[in-house]
Amino acid sequence: MTTSEAEPYDAVVLAGGGARRLDGADKPGVMVGGRPLVAWVGAAVADAGRTVLVGPSRPELPHAICVREDPPGGGPVPALRTGLALVRAPWVAVLAADLPFLRPAHIGELRRSARDGHGAVLVDADGRPQWLAGVWRTADLHDALTRYRSASLRGLMDPLDPRLVRAPAGQRPWYDCDTPSDVEAASRMIGENSA
């Protein structure tokens, strides 16, 4: 077990967006593979010391600490700032609420990869960092947020030079569900994998 895996971690799940591309649907509650999207994410971080859900409270995550950014729906940077204020562990997983293929093994790999730096993020099939699928050293992310005045997660996180983590072939832990077609595709893929 590596140092970062031995150290406790918390999770911040961002779940307060407007889901405009889903016609304003309750995106964290959208069913994929028989479970709400946020339940998949919650299961991936079930071993976190505490889970902070930034958004409305969710019955799918009954033990989460729920907070709202000000103003609600203000974007990922204000949401992260609000959630991070409740993190107590030396490491924090920062995740979107709509990652149906994220599993505990992916969080474990992110924690291992982050151990010698500021953090680690998953990259998609094209090698692009997925800023809402990562693990960070809490103090470093907090310090960066203290100085940061813009709205871009990339602008906040990229200067921390995170390790880039590719999932094993055939796995898509970075896949998020922003549109109805994303939801349909994810449901289809989960159905195919369980058949």
Tally: H helices and E strands in the chain: 7, 9
89 closest CA partner among 69, 111, 56: 111
- Return mean pLDDT, the chain: 90
CA–CA separation, 34 and 127 (whole Å): 29
Report which of residues 185 and 6 the model is more confident about.
185
**What is the reported pLDDT for 195?**
39
- The pLDDT > 90 percentage for the chain reads 70
How many domains does the structure of the chain reveal? Answer: 1
Report which of residues 33 and 136 the model is more confident about.
136
CA–CA separation, 35 and 43 (whole Å): 11
- Structural domain including 182 reads 3-194
CATH classification of the domain holding 63: 3.90.550.10
pLDDT tens digits for range 84-94: 999 999 999 99
**What is the reported pLDDT for 179?**
85
CA–CA separation, 157 and 139 (whole Å): 13
The pTM assigned to this predicted structure is 0.92
Confidence of residue 25 (pLDDT cuts 50, 70, 90): low
- Asked if pLDDT for residue 2 goes beyond 60, the answer is no
**What is the reported pLDDT for 182?**
87
pLDDT tens digits for range 141-195: 999 999 999 999 999 999 999 999 999 988 999 998 888 888 888 988 887 665 3
